[in-house]
Structure 1
Amino acid sequence: MFVITGATGQLGRLVIDQLLQHVPASRIIAAVRSPEKAADLAAKGVQVRHADYSQPATLDTAFNGAKKILLISSNELGQRATQHKAVIDAAKRAGVELLAYTSVLHADTSALELAEEHRQTEDAIGNSGVPSAILRNGWYTENYTAAITNDIAHGAHFGCAGEGRISSAPRADYAAAAVAVLTSSAPQAGRVYELAGDEAYTLSEFAAQIALQSGKPVVYTNLPEADYKAALSQAGLPEVVAQLLANSDSAASTGALFDDSRALSKLIGRPTTPLAVTIAESLVE
């Protein structure tokens, strides 16, 4: 049995869609906080079980019979280390063969503020003795392409990454990596994967690609980190999200989102999806 936590999230749904290409739906458990949001997964034959990171008792029930678990990191910033520890403890009680965890690129050395809770989680996994694989996911291309409509409307993409190069890939590529690890016939316990896109770009190049494909003028406008955070807050983003995005862009300026190992494409057996393709898909949505 394969358990996917956070299964109704953007990454979780992609993982399940791709996992269904490898194993019967009856062997997949979608562990979700709100089962009513997973009716479409249940319709495909996937087992839907209530699992709340903040309610450990639900995790024991959700993990019953599990052999492999994918722990998709929580989106509750500031609560993640505690929530993940509950999942790790439940996985240990379940006696799973493998716990795979979606961490962040170069978590052990990263300057990203969001890396701290990932480091704490990786430490907790290591201390637990549960057989594990760490998937250190790089930046999702969608973190930038989600704002394409606004970028075109304003004629600019704002950020504070300077000329830092970003090795992103779309969520679907990272989902493919998770599925590859979960279904691999080779031992995965103890593996740490630094996952990033084959192609790296600056935000100036990102803006230029939007302009090229949209036919509209779009340039990159680099701001001081504090100003970029303020702009994000003024756009309606919660304070904690604005802080995360501004800090991530700032860290990118010194290489925090760059990696040229091509471990992701090696793991999924194909090149990662180019930036131009993801932009093109976003423009037709």
Structure 2
Amino acid sequence: MTILITGANGHLGRHVIARLLARGTAPQNLVAGVRDMSKGDDLAAQGLTVIPLDYTRPDTIAAAMEGVDQVLLISSSEVGRRTAQHQSVIDAASAAGVAKFVYTSAPKATTSDLVLAPEHKATEEAIAAAGLPAVILRNNWYTENYAADLARAAETGIIAASAGEGRVASASRADFADAAAVILMGENHIGQVYELGGDVAWTYAELAQAAGEVLGRDVTYHALSPEEHAAALAAAGLDAGTAGFVVALDAGIRAGALGDTDGTLSRLIGRPTTPLVDGLRALL
């Protein structure tokens, strides 16, 4: 069984590889697709096959599928370009006749109003249209997403956002990667859509409290209106488009887009998910 991991040298990709190896997958059964081959030397040193795979170059994607049984498509980080990039991977996997296609999507991708959801919805629809034997992993937020907030809190004692009382069921990248490893190594998952999140959904006030515990100082949450948030981001140097995107993300959180948790992730990986405090502490 040969498994191709796209974006293998990224944060999530590296965690997935680590968990596959830890769970007993032989390195020679893993193919690491990387855009920049110079960044895959350490993976090759572990015994993996490292190949060029660029979401914007379909020829590299088709070549990467040769002899592959399973594919993990880690969603592209290029917001606004993902749908076309993912389609190239879907087309190549379909032509290659892979036995299992796993995709890292977003929470409730087909019904959510979250600003990130449409591209994931389109990708899920493309996977279904291609008739691929697929498993969809709808990953909630990574706790690592809050590294910048933690750094600012260390300097200012403030976490500012317009998320209101919305909750986030975050978990560590390692937790989500472990779930991907379980799916890739296991059977009877084809056709499943898994909503994955941390065991505890927290508010931003609780995020501030956890940050204070990690940093050893008082940290408070400043709840901003969307307008105040946009103005603060602009004052910090963000362009209007980026600031609007961040405010829109917080609007989704405020509306509850990331607040659901039913224990599916912890059941898949066979252990509790990483608590918020521990996830933040790891960022230090």
The one of 50, 53, 59 equivalent to 1:51 is: 53
Q: What amino acid sits opposite 2:128 in the alignment?
A: G
Q: What amino acid sits opposite 2:268 in the alignment?
A: L
Conserved? CA contact 1:2–1:27, under 8 Å: yes
Unpaired segments of 5 or more residues in structure 1? none
CA distance 1:118–1:239, shift in 2 (3 Å):
farther
**Matching of residue 91 in structure 1 with residue 93 in structure 2:** yes
Aligned counterparts of 2:245 and 2:269: Cα–Cα separation in 1? 29
Question: Normalised by the size of structure 2, how large is the TM-score?
Answer: 0.95
1:17-44 per-position Cα deviation (integer Å, ceiling 9, x unaligned)? 1111221111100011111111110111
Aligned counterparts of 2:273 and 2:90: Cα–Cα separation in 1? 30
TM-superposed deviation, 1:246:
2.2
Equivalenced residues, count: 282
Identity %: 45
Aligned counterparts of 1:167 and 1:225: Cα–Cα separation in 2? 22
CA distance 1:229–1:170, shift in 2 (3 Å):
farther
- Structure-2 residue corresponding to 1:198: 199
Q: CA RMSD in A?
A: 1.5
Aligned counterparts of 2:32 and 2:201: Cα–Cα separation in 1? 33
TM-superposed deviation, 1:109:
1.4
Q: What amino acid sits opposite 2:50 in the alignment?
A: V
CA distance 1:133–1:239, shift in 2 (3 Å):
farther
- Structure-2 residue corresponding to 1:111: 113
Conserved? CA contact 1:25–1:45, under 8 Å: yes
Greater shift in the superposed pair: 16-25 or 128-137: 16-25
Q: What amino acid sits opposite 2:74 in the alignment?
A: I
- Structure-2 residue corresponding to 1:262: 263
Aligned counterparts of 1:97 and 1:163: Cα–Cα separation in 2? 43
Greater shift in the superposed pair: 9-18 or 241-250: 241-250
Unpaired segments of 5 or more residues in structure 2? none
SS at match of 1:177: helix
**Matching of residue 11 in structure 1 with residue 12 in structure 2:** yes
Conserved? CA contact 1:145–1:278, under 8 Å: no
CA distance 1:135–1:237, shift in 2 (3 Å):
farther
1:172-204 per-position Cα deviation (integer Å, ceiling 9, x unaligned)? 1000010010000x2221010000000111001
1:62-114 per-position Cα deviation (integer Å, ceiling 9, x unaligned)? 11111000000001111000000000000011110011000001111111111
CA distance 1:28–1:255, shift in 2 (3 Å):
same
Q: What amino acid sits opposite 1:92 in the alignment?
A: S
